[in-house]
Amino acid sequence: MTTERLFSLRNRWFVLSVGSTISVAVVAALIGFVWLPSVQTDAQFTGIWNAICSAAGVPQKWLSSTPVTSRVKTSDVVLTPSTLVNGDALSIGRGATLALRCTMCHGPQGLSQANSPNLAGQYAAVIYKQLRDFQSGARTNPVMAPMVTALSDQDMRDLAAYYAYLPRVTGYHPASRPVPDIVAVGSPMRNIAPCASCHGAADRTIGAPWLEGEPAIYIRAQLQAFASGDRHNDTSEQMRNVVRQMTPAEIDAAAQYYASQRP
Amino acid sequence: MLNNRRLVLAHFWFAFATFGVALLLGAWQMYVRSPLHAWLRQPELYYRSVTAHGSVMGYVFPTLIAMGFGYAITELSLGQALRGRRWAWAGWWLIVVGSLMAMVTVALGKASVLYTFYPPMIGSPFYYLGVVLVVVGSWIWVALMSINLRVWKRANPGKPVPLPMFANVAGSYLWGWTAVGAALEILFQILPVALGLKSTIDSGLARVFFSWTLHAIVYFWLMPAYIAYYTLVPRAVGGRLYSDGMARISFILFLVVAMPIGIHHLFADPQVGSGFKFLQSVFTALVSVPTLLTVFTICASVEIAGRLRGGRGAFGWLRVLPWHEPMMLAVAFSFVMLGFGGAGGLINMSYQLDSTIHNTQWITGHFHLIFGGAIVIMYFAIAYELWPQLTGRALTSVRLMKWQLWLWFVGMIVTTFPWHYAGILGMPRRMAYFDFSNPALAPEAITVTMSAVGGLILVLSAVLFFMVLVRGHRGAAVTPAQFEFATAVHPPATLPVALNSFGLWIALMVGLTVVNYGYPIAQLLVLKETSVPAVWMGGQR
């Protein structure tokens, strides 16, 4: 049985291994936390303590001026996967009553005959977000604006629950057409993600509507509004960044394709 | 003496079965994103496939090989029956159930988040729970290795632990500690979001936790290969291990410095201070030391074999080596790939050089060359060595084995060299398709085609590999010769405690983790407003 003590300053393995580990760490730390940051000339690095803090990643205030706030109103709605997933019967009933005022454009069954979007079966979170954005002014529309001013938050939740509850109506859709490239694969070199990666088929992003069967005129108009910046309630400019890169032909192809699909 | 053949075989067969499926997925990925195939109209399928390929090749396959090999080493090198056989089976079942659970979830398109999880992307909780089961199953193995060593030590006080077991336990401790990072990430960051309890995630902190696992996991994959270098190769080629002490020091160095260096995967991440990036860059450089020691020791051991066979002069010993032996071929191929892959790795770990290739195809080329090449080819060799012991039947398809190893080597070089080059050209990773018609990308097209051809060669090699193993089960029954590990030129009679135990090295490993990770983790835990909205994958369609 060996009596050699390992954790002892008399054990050369202990002294050598611990000593060399500590020396490597100290030398590397001196270079990484003192020497290299000191080469920087920014004010945040002046002095040894600042250098160490900067290298350690302590948050520092770099910008001395106050940031300019945008005059463009953007959406402040937060959506999660659990937002409005299960509307209860009471909410749907209230929504049905409230929806009577929407029938002029969106149809009595949530199916538009005026090139307004069909709402029957649309995701509740989508409808709720758009209503909130119309109310806050993040999305502007001369027809919708006066309709939403008086709605309470619960009213908007009820409307969303009601329209989500209505069945998607398949209707008449002529012969299927091939999926255009812009929908299926986008255009990687222009930083255009495929429509299908957020609007269904490939994957879905919370807050993105399904588009099948929506009027082509409506889809096209919205894409053009995103491209020009007239519509700006998309989260993190996701739609604006994509559509600005799209050609008019691609916008048309996407609109025609989605309009021709069964919801 | 191998009592638990079924246990080891179950580990190896499930490992190789999953490997076969994941390899096919990998080859399919190489093909569909190459100019040989039109753009995938359902790019999500590509990410499903990448997730399945990575999860199997990263979590399931090497873990099972390390475990099965570890159980075999315990019995063969200690000469005692494995303690905790039922626990070992429980670990195996956990891994089987966990892998199937994770893979079914991925196949359904519910968790296309890639095997590195990539928060804020969030998939189905079943995927993460499957991975957790795999890790828990492997932790049973870690505990069993430690217990079996303790039992042996109690029966043999003061004697040197046999090198294979020493290395095996070093690998298990490394894994035990390194898996903690991913476990923390899954349990405290990802699962609460995946289960719908939270809608935001601190993806910076989650990535720091994952980096804790991400680099040392590679060294855990490497361990069986290194154990084979030291304890199988010298005997198989007819030589002796040049230095037992050097071998122990290499494994100890892996244990101490392989883990607290993962932040070099986050060089481009803003949430970690540059000082810690530099510090870990330095420690990453240190990991090349045990590999260089290994290359030296194994070359010296093989040279002994060459000299014993009558080789003369500076290079004459190379010619007379037993090149007809599969193990000789395997180690030579492995070293060549380790050399190129390691040289590439030195670029990745350099804080400045990394910026030129960060997140490009260079990285995928690098880790396929190291893991898929240098390491997996040794897994094949380990299987060839152990199969007669496990089946009680001789492996007679030596020609097939040599073809298999050659094809794997050539296939891996053809796959990864153009891949590296594409990375230097700036081609990003994780893309389902590329617009090769764009003049800026056109020069990259040929490299992707070449890699796809390499992938096909690898599939051919795997077919041969399975043929060899299956033929092995059908061969004539023989009584396999007593299994022996390589002996050292000077077998140790006694060893300093430091080279015969792990206490000091585990203390250093944990201490270095605290130094290198303590502040970045504590800071991110304390800072407010570091969470971002989660992005759920495979949601409502």
DSSP chain A: -----SSSTT-HHHHHHHHHHHHHHHHHHHIIIIIHHHT--SGGG-SHHHHHHHHHT-------SPPPPPSS--------TTTT-S--HHHHHHHHHHGGGGHHHH-TTS--SSSSPP-TT--HHHHHHHHHHHHHTSS--TTHHHHHTT--HHHHHHHHHHHHHSPPP-----S--PPPHHHHT-BGGGTB--GGGTBSSS-B-TTPPP-TT--HHHHHHHHHHHHHTS---SGGGHHHHHHTT--HHHHHHHHHHHHHS--
**A81/B438 CB distance under 8 A:** no
CA dist B167 and B161 (Å) reads 10
CA dist B520 and B527 (Å) reads 11
Q: How many CB pairs under 8 A join A and B?
A: 139
Q: Does B17 touch chain A (CB under 8 A)?
A: no
Q: What is the pLDDT of residues B275-325, one digit of tens each?
A: 999 999 999 999 999 999 999 999 999 999 999 999 999 999 999 999 999
Helix/strand/coil for B80: coil
What stretches of B350-476 show up as alpha helix (H) in DSSP?
A: 354-357, 361-367, 376-391, 398-424, 442-474
Of residues B256, B263, B266, the one with CA closest to residue B287: B256
Q: What is the pLDDT of residues A109-167, one digit of tens each?
A: 888 888 999 999 999 999 999 999 999 999 999 999 999 999 999 999 999 999 999 99
Element (DSSP H or E) covering residue B121: strand B121-122
pLDDT band per the 50, 70, 90 thresholds, residue A1? very low
Computed over every residue of chain B, the mean pLDDT equals 94
Name chain A contacts of B433, Cβ cutoff 8 Å: 185, 188
Q: Look at the block and give the residue holding tokens 């999305």.
A: A139
The answer to whether residue A174 scores a pLDDT higher than 70 is: no
Q: Does B273 touch chain A (CB under 8 A)?
A: yes
Nearest residue, CB atoms, A6 vs list B157, B273, B501:
B501
Q: Can you give the length of chain B in residues?
A: 541
Helix/strand/coil for B22: helix
CA atoms within 13 A on the CB side of B202: 20
Nearest residue, CB atoms, B523 vs list A24, A37, A57:
A57
**B504/A78 CB distance under 8 A:** no
pLDDT band per the 50, 70, 90 thresholds, residue A172? low
Question: Closest residue of B to A60, CA-based?
Answer: B273
- This model of the complex carries an ipTM of 0.88
Q: What is the pLDDT of residue A84?
A: 83
Helix/strand/coil for B365: helix
Q: What is the DSSP string of B462-484?
A: HHHHHHHHHHHHHS-B--PPPP-
Q: Look at the block and give the residue holding tokens 């690898």.
A: B458
The answer to whether residue A2 scores a pLDDT higher than 70 is: no
Q: B251 and B499 in contact (C-beta within 8 Å)? A: no
**B275/A29 CB distance under 8 A:** yes
Nearest residue, CB atoms, B504 vs list A17, A78, A203:
A17
Q: Does A217 touch chain B (CB under 8 A)?
A: no
Residue ranges of B 472-511 with Cβ closer than 8 A to chain A: 494, 496-499, 501, 503-505, 508, 511
Nearest residue, CB atoms, B433 vs list A13, A31, A188:
A188
Q: What is the pLDDT of residues B187-237, one digit of tens each?
A: 999 999 999 898 899 999 999 999 999 999 999 999 999 999 999 999 999
Q: Does B520 touch chain A (CB under 8 A)?
A: yes
**B274/A203 CB distance under 8 A:** no
**A57/B435 CB distance under 8 A:** no
**B275/A205 CB distance under 8 A:** no
Cite the active site residues of B: 215, 219, 366-368, 429-430
* Single pTM value for the model: 0.93
pLDDT band per the 50, 70, 90 thresholds, residue B541? very low
Q: What is the pLDDT of residues A61-89, one digit of tens each?
A: 777 788 888 888 899 998 887 778 777 89
CA dist A49 and A71 (Å) reads 40
Helix/strand/coil for B393: strand
Q: Does A33 touch chain B (CB under 8 A)?
A: yes
More confident residue, B451 or A46: B451
**A29/B271 CB distance under 8 A:** no
Inter-helix orientation angle B125-155/B163-184, to 10°? 150
Question: Closest residue of B to A178, CA-based?
Answer: B41
Residues 6+ apart with CB under 8 A from B207: B119, B266, B269, B271
Q: Look at the block and give the residue holding tokens 């803090």.
A: A53
CA dist B197 and B190 (Å) reads 10
pLDDT band per the 50, 70, 90 thresholds, residue B463? very high
Of residues A43, A233, A212, the one with CA closest to residue A145: A233
Q: Nearest CA of chain B to the CA of A139: how many Å?
A: 22
Report strand pairing: B121-122 vs B535-536: parallel
Q: What is the pLDDT of residues B106-130, one digit of tens each?
A: 999 999 999 999 999 999 999 999 9
The answer to whether residue B49 scores a pLDDT higher than 60 is: yes
**Burial of residue B227, with CB atoms counted within 10 A of its CB: 0-12 exposed, 13-18 middle, 19 or more buried:** buried
Q: What percent of chain B is modeled with pLDDT above 90?
A: 91
Residues 6+ apart with CB under 8 A from A40: A51, A54
Q: What percent of chain A is modeled with pLDDT above 70?
A: 96
The answer to whether residue A171 scores a pLDDT higher than 80 is: no
CA dist B462 and B26 (Å) reads 12
Question: Closest residue of B to A57, CA-based?
Answer: B273
**A197/B44 CB distance under 8 A:** yes
Q: What is the pLDDT of residue B2?
A: 85
CA dist B217 and B60 (Å) reads 12
Q: How far apart are the first and last CA of chain B?
A: 56
Helix/strand/coil for B225: helix
More confident residue, A178 or B376: B376
Name chain B contacts of A29, Cβ cutoff 8 Å: 275, 279
Q: Does B439 touch chain A (CB under 8 A)?
A: no
Q: Does A42 touch chain B (CB under 8 A)?
A: no
The DSSP symbol for B375 reads: I
Nearest residue, CB atoms, A14 vs list B39, B256, B498:
B498
**B433/A184 CB distance under 8 A:** no
3 state SS for A230-249? CCCCCHHHHHHHHHCCCCHH
Q: Position A96: which residue type?
A: A
The answer to whether residue B457 scores a pLDDT higher than 50 is: yes
CA dist B274 and B270 (Å) reads 9
pLDDT band per the 50, 70, 90 thresholds, residue B262? very high
Least confident of A168-182, B48-62, B392-406: A168-182
The mean per-residue pLDDT over the stretch A177-197 comes to 92
**B279/A25 CB distance under 8 A:** yes
More confident residue, B102 or B533: B102
Name chain A contacts of B515, Cβ cutoff 8 Å: 25
**B508/A206 CB distance under 8 A:** no
